[in-house]
Structure 1
Amino acid sequence: MVDDQPPTSNPDAKKILGFDHKTFLKNLTSKPGVYQMYDKNGAILYVGKAKNLKKRVSSYFRGSGLTTKTVALVSRIHNIEITVAPSEAEALVLEHNLIKAQKPPFNILLRDDKSFPYIYLSDGEDHPRLSLHRGSKKKRGRYFGPFPNVSAVRESLNFLQKVFGVRQCEDSVYRNRTRPCLLYQIERCSGPCVNKISDHDYAADVEQTALFLEGKNDNLHQSLVTLMERASSDLHFEQAAIYRDRITALRQVQAQQVMEAGQRNMDIIACAIAPGASCVHRLYVRQGRVVGSKNYYPKNKLDNSEADILSAFVSHSYLGDSGMDVPPYVVLSHPIPDAQALAEAIELHSHRKIQMTANVRTYRAKWLVMAEQAAKLNLQARLNSAHTLEQRYEALQEALAADETPGRIECFDISHSSGESTVASCVVFDQNGPVKSDYRRFNITDITAGDDYAAMEQALNRRYSRLQKEGKQLPGLLLIDGGKGQLSKARHVMAELGIQEVELIGVAKGTTRKPGFETLIRADGSEMILASDSPALHLIQQVRDEAHRFAITGHKQRRDQKRRTSTLENIPGIGPKRRKELLQFFGGLQEVMRASADDLAKVPSISKKMAEEVYTSLHSE
C-alpha cells in the first residue's frame, strides 16, 4: 500500500502525470486484480493488488492527500497494466509472484530469498541417516524445521550425534566402510555400517531421535525411563547406563530452553521502523519452544507503515517457493488490514490453514514483547553502525556545504504537560553514534508556565556556560527542535556567551507535522528542505527523535514524582503521623481539601490554630 499516509496538499498532481489517467480510469473495472505501473521506458515501477481496481488505482490520481514519495511515483507513470483475478486472495498470490519476478523499485522488497535449512531424516533404508538439508524437499524421508540458520541446524545435529548416535555420514562413505570410523571410537555413532548395532536397536534410536525433533519430549522421556528400567531388570547395566545418560542429556537441554509452553508451531513477527529504515524480527517457535530468530531489513522506499511492511513480509515468506513451512499460527506486532485475504491466499497456495493475530496473551504475549524489543534494538544498532553513520554524516556535510563533517552534534528539546514539570533535554551524537554519557536533562524553573522560548533559553544558558567554564568540548552542530522562535533564543544565548564556532540549525515540523517534511532553518534565517529519503535528513531525524524521547522520559519522571508527593508534606508542623491521621479521619486527600477549618480541628492531634494554618496552606494561591 502506498497511499495510507498523512495528507499533503498536491495541487499540481494533474500536471505531472505522464498519461491520460481520466480515460484510463473511466474504463477501468471494479473487480479484484493486480495493477502494474511502468515508466516511459517500459521499466516496472510498482506492483499492487486491489479488492476494487477502479477505487484503488483512482486513489493515486486524486488532487490532494498524496505523500511526496507517492507523487514522485505517480509523476513517472507512463502506462498501467491490469490483470483481473477471481478473488482478492488470488490477486494477492499473483501480486507476490510478480513482485518476486520483476522486483519493482517502489515495492517493499526482501532480499533474503534463500531457502531455510532443515534437518533431514532419510527413509526406506536399513539404517536411516540424519543430515542438514536446504532446497526442495523431493527426497523420501522426514524434514524437521525450518531452522533460522545453518548454525542452529549444526548445533542440533551435534547434540543428536552425542545422545542418540544415529549416523550422519554420506551414503557413499557408509556403503564402503569395512571397519568402524573415528566417530564410533569416540562414541558419536553406533556403527551400523559394520553391524556394531542390531537393526532393531538402531530403529529404536531413530525413533527416539524423531520424537526429540518433533518436540515430544514427554513421550521420549517416558520411553527412555521404561527402557532403562527394563534393561536394569534384565541385568543389562551398560545399556541401562546409556538410557540414563540420554535422560540426563534430555533434561539438560530442556532446562536450557528459556521459553517453552504448549506444543504449538508458530512464528512471532515484529516490525520496527525509523526514518529511511525498517527491521522485521522473526521468532521461530516449534513444538512450544523458541528454537531461534532472524532479522530482516526490507527496503522501504515509500515510508510504509509497520502494517504494510508486515503484510509484504508475510506474503513473501509464506507465498514463496523458498521451502519455508507455513505454521498454523502467526503472531504479528501490528494488525494488518488484509489479514483475511492473505490467509486465504496462503491456504490457496500451500493448502494449509493459517491464523494471524496481533492480539495475544500469556506466553505468546511474552514472546511478542521479546520480538518487538529485538526488532527495535537491532534497528537501532543498524542505524548506529559505523557504515550507516559515516554515510549519513557525509550526506549532512554535503547538504550543509560544510568544509568538514560535524564531529559532534548536540540537540535540545523541551517537554511539559500544559506547562507542568518542564524539562529540557540535551543529547549528544558523534560519528560513532549516541554519546549517552554526555546526555543531560535540565529541570526548568522560574519561567511562565508553557513558555518554550524561555525554557530553551534557560537550558542553553546552563549548558554552554558550564561547558565554557569547565573548558569542555563544544559541538560542531547544534540542533534546536523548533522553529524560528527557538532558534532566535539559541542565537541570542550563543552571542551572549561569545560562542561563534557552533553552527545552529532549527528543525521545524512541516505543515503535516509528520516525519519527512521537516524544514531546516539556518542561523541567517534561510530555510532548507531535504528530500525525505536523504541520509542527511535521516541523521537529523534520528538525533531529534532521541532528544524528544529523552525529554519526554525526564518530564514524565518529574511529573509523576511531583504527583506522588502529598500536598500535606509542604505544610509546617504536619509530620508523617499527623498526615496519616488527617487522611484516615477524612478518608483521603480530596476530602481533606474540602474540609473547613472547623472540620480539620476535629482531628484529635490538630489544634484549632493548626487547623487554620492547614486550611490556609491548602487553599492559598
Structure 2
Amino acid sequence: MNLEEKLKQLPNDAGVYQYFDKDGHLLYIGKAKVLKNRVKSYFKFTPKLLPADKLSPRIYKMITEVESLEWIVVPNEHDALILENSLIKQLKPKYNILLRDDKTYPYIYINLNEDFPRLEITRKVLKEKNIKYFGPYSIGARDMLDSIYEIVPLVQKKSCIKGKEACLFHQINKCHAPCEGKITKEDYAKLVDEALGFIYNKNKLVTKLNSKMEEYSADFRFEEAMKLRDRIKSIKKSQIQTGMDLATNENLDLFAIKAINNKAVLVRMFFRDGKLASSNHNYIKQNKDDINIDINEAYSRAIVNYYDNELPLLPSEILIADEIEEKRDIEEFIKQKFSKSISILNPKRGKKKEIIQVAHNNCDELLRLQNTSSETSLYEDLKLLFNLEKTPNRFECFDNSHMMGQATVGAMVTWEEKFVKSDFRHYNLEAKDEYAQMRETLMRRVESFEKNPAPDMWVIDGGETLLKLARDIRDSCGVNLDIVAIAKEKLDFKAHRAKGSAKDIIFYERAGEILKLELLPSDKRLQFIQRLRDEAHRFAITFHKKQKRKEDTQISLLQIKGIGEAKVKKLLLYFGTFDNIKNANLKELKEILNEKDAMLLLNYFKNLEG
C-alpha cells in the first residue's frame, strides 16, 4: 500500500504517528488529537502528493523523505503525549528534537521525624512525612553535603546513632556524640538550623570553606586544603549567578531555549524559597544541514521529559522564556502525573521577566562557547570518515572482562564533550564466551533505552563479528544509532599484541556492508576512538577485579574449618547476601550457628579486613 492510500485510511481518533523513509528507517514521531487532520496537514494533493507549503524548512525536508506511515490509536490526547514521549526516547527518530538530560537529579533531604537527623542525598520520593527536600542539583550536591559535614558537627554516619558509644568522629570534634547523650535534642536542632543555613545561602558556605582552606594551608595540611578548593569550585558551578532574590518564598522551575542557525541550547533554573537552588544546561543536537529548530517542539520535549520522572519537590509555577502552543496539554499531563495543577507561564514584566532575561543571557554565552569548542570539528570529521547522516555527539563504548570464566562483567562508558561518569554502567553477566557476553551486555543496555535514551554512536571493543551482532540488536529495536568497532590487528587468527607493533583496525557500516579501516597512529579520529575503548577496558577491569575479590571471599567461606557448604547455605537463606553475613554481629550469627562457629566467622572477617 502506497503512502497516499495510507493517508486515506487515517482515523478520526487521538494517537501517535510514525514516518519512515524508503529504507524503513524511522524519520519522525508525532502525536495528534485527531490523527486524520494532523497527518494530512503535512501534505498537499495537487494532484501529486507533495509537502505542504507552510512547513518549516526542517519538516519540509523530512516530508520529502517520507515513503510510509504507521499510527497507533490511543483513548485521548493525554495518552498520546505520554506514548509519543516514550517512543521518541527509545527510538531516536532522525527528525525529532532529542534531549539527553531527562534523568532525575539528586536532592538533599533531611528527615525531621528523627531525634538527631542527618542531611542525605536522594533521587527518589521518600514515603515518610515531615521530610524536607532541597534541590534539584545537577552538580555540587555531594560537595555541598561533604562541606557541611566538615563545618557542622552533625551525626556523621547513619550507623553512628545506632551505636552505644562515642566513636572517632567525636574524638576529632566532628560529632557531639548523641549516642552517649552528650548533646540534647534542642541543642542538636540548632546545629541542624546552622547546616540548613548553608544550603539556603551558598555564598555563606563558600566563605566558610575559604576560611577553612586557609586554616589548613597555614597548618601545612595541603592535601585537605586542595580538597576544599575543588569543592568550592564545584559548588560555585552548581548555579548561575543571578544576583537577585525573588523577594518571595516561591518555588519556581524555569526553562529557556535559544537557537542560532542549527545550534540550540536549553537552560533550566530551579528556584526554591525564592532563591536560585541550582541550574543546568544541555545543547540540543541537530544535523549540520538543519536550517532551524522548532522552538515549540523543543520546549514541549524538555518539559515533558523532566516531569515524566518522580520528583520529590514540585514548583508552584513553571516559567518559560517563549510562548508555546501545547501549554494546556502539558499542564494537563503534569496534573495527571502529580495530582497537582501547575501553571506554565511566560512572564512579561517584573522579577520573573528579569530572571528569564538572565537565562537568555546564559543561553547566548553557552552558544558562544560551543562555537569555540575544539571537539566540534572532530565530531564532524567522524561524520565524514564514516559517511554518517548526522554528526555524533554522544558515544557509548562497551567492553567485557573475565578470568577463566570467573567474575564475568560488562562495562559501558559514556562520552558527551567529556566522559560522563554518572552514566557509566557495570553489568554482571551470565554468558561464558565473548560473543554471548557482548550480546548480553548490549541487550541489557537496549532494555534501558526508555529511561536512558540511546546515544548517537556505539563503539564496540571487538571486530567484524561483534559489529554485526551490535547491528542486529540495533535493527531489532528500530533505533537510529551508528556503530563502529575497534579491534587489534590479527595475525594467524591471534591478536598481534607485540609491544609497539599492535595496530588497531576500525570496522564500520556503509550501505549495508561492513568495511575495514586502518588509520595512522597519529590520526586524531583513531586516537579518540582508542580513548573511548581504553576507558571502557579500564572500567571493565576495575569492576572485574572487585567482583573477583568478592567471589574469592565467598568461596573462601567454604574453606573455613567448621563452616561447610550446608552452613553457608543456611546463612545465605537467612541473611540473603554474603555482604549481609559479613556485616552481621555475634547475636545475629548465633540465630543460625552455634557460638563457636559464630565466633569463628567473626574472627575470619576481622582478619580479612586487617
TM score, norm. by length of structure 2: 0.49
If you compute each CA radius of gyration, which structure gives the higher value, 1 or 2?
A: 1
